[in-house]
Structure formats: C-alpha cells, structure tokens
Amino acid sequence: QLSSLRGLKSGTLRLACVTTAKYFIPHLLGPFCEHYPGIDIQFTIANRQQIIDRLEQGLDDFYVFSHLPEGLDLDVIEFMSNDLVAIAEADHPLASQPSVSLEELCQQDFLIREHGSGTRYAIEGFFNEQQCTPNIKMTIASNEAIIHSVLSRLGVSILSAHTLAFGEVYGVKTLNVEGLPIQSKWSFSWTKAESLSPIAQVFLSYVETEGREVMKKAVQF
Ligand code: PGA
C-alpha cells in the first residue's frame, strides 16, 4: 500500500500538536514530504486544552500529546520521552549550585505557562505530589516568551527540554533540582471510532518505522 500511494497527487494530512512538539515534528515531516510530494500538511500548534478541543471535534487525523486526555477512547502510539527541566538565567545564584532543593526552587519567582497548558498540568501535578508550592510571579502563554523572561531575570521556570531546541540556549542554565526532570512520553493519538484516511494510514506506517529514527536524530543533543 505504501508504494501504491507514492504517486498520490493530492491529499491533506492534518496534524495537531501541543506547543512543545513543534520543536521536533517538523523534522519528522521533511523526509515524509520528500517521499510523498503529493501530500499537503495542515499543521496546527496550540496548548493541550485547545488540542483536546480539536480532538473532540474530530478536526485532525493525529493529535500529539505528552499528557493524554482522560476519558476519551483513543488509539495511541508512544514514541519518545519528554523531560521537563528547571531553568534559570546563567548568572542566577542557583545556576552555580551543584544541586538545588525543591524548597530553594519554590522560594524563587516562578514563571509558568497558562491554564490549559500540558506543561502547566505536569508542573502542578509534580508540586502537588511533592507538597511544595511554587511562588508564581508570571503566567506566560508561550515557551519562547518564558525563556526570554528567564533571560531577563524575571524568574525561574520548568519547561520541556525540547524548548531548549538542540541543547542549551545561550544564557540559560538547566538546574539540577531534586525530583526533576518530570518525565512523560510523547504520543500520537487518534479517535478509535473514526477510521484513518488512506493518507493518515501511510503517515502512521512512516511514524512507526523510519519516522521513529528521524525523530530520535532530530532531538539528539
Ligand atoms: P503545552 O503542552 O504546549 O500545552 O504546554 C505540552 C505538553 O503537554 O507536554
């Protein structure tokens, strides 16, 4: 079937991803589009709640989460780990400490993503479990704006290591905080009840084979 679709002239693959997936999903799409030049991609990026809303409306073929929604009947393939790490500006006092306690982290001004964000959901779960309360100073609806705010010494944060795209961002230091990273797994999911289009099936085969290696290479840092 893969080879019969190689000559496909037209068709659209609809992908919806949470914001932290935008750092590696494009690398997955490059080789795919080279194999299948007739396939167009509609690539939507939004926070977790907005992607759940799209899933409930059946707007896309695949939904990429690192924290799957509960109570929905989904087919899922997991493909890679997602580590959430603490970050501070390189000259921040905590940045030179070999290790940082959770208490010390909670004493800092903390920058956090907006309600509806999967990153926030994971951070809240972590602090609840640890029975610690971060000192939230700013809510910021963008990974990039959080990084710039950290650089501007507005506070520290916890973000997916993928946001540091391909290694350390100049001037940002990953802190060695007890209990971190928060670990989860990326997954492609789709609604069980809806049958996959032929194009979506081709994409799924690609993700399960060559795509896995492509993604691993894209995030090696
Ligand atoms: P977010 O999702 O972009 O909504 O923070 C990231 C995640 O679920 O890990």
Instruction: Pick from 125-129, 201-205, 214-218 the range whose average pLDDT is largest.
Output: 125-129
| Ligand 1 centroid from CA 51, angstroms | 10
CATH 3.40.190.10 domain extents, the chain? 3-80+185-218, 83-183
Give 3-26 pLDDT, tens digit per residue: 455 555 579 999 999 999 998 899
Helices 25-35 and 198-206: angle between axes, nearest 10 degrees: 120
| Complex-level ipTM beyond the 0.95 threshold | yes
Give CATH for domain 83-183: 3.40.190.10
Quick check: 2 pLDDT over 80? no
CB of 19 closer than 6 angstroms to any ligand 1 atom:
yes
CB of 20 closer than 6 angstroms to any ligand 1 atom:
yes
Give 163-208 pLDDT, tens digit per residue: 986 556 788 999 999 999 999 999 999 998 788 999 999 999 999 9
Distances (CA, A) of 60 to 13, 18, 194, 202: 8, 13, 11, 15
Quote the mean pLDDT of the chain.
91
57 against 7, higher pLDDT: 57
Q: What is the mean pLDDT of residues 107-125?
A: 98
Give 66-81 pLDDT, tens digit per residue: 999 999 999 999 988 9
| Ligand 1 centroid from CA 64, angstroms | 9
d(CA 124, CA 137): 15
Q: What is the mean pLDDT of residues 83-89?
A: 96
| Ligand 1 centroid from CA 10, angstroms | 31
Nearest CA to ligand 1 atom 8: 118
pLDDT at 167: 59
What CATH topology corresponds to 3-80+185-218? Answer: D-Maltodextrin-Binding Protein; domain 2 (3.40.190)
pLDDT at 195: 84
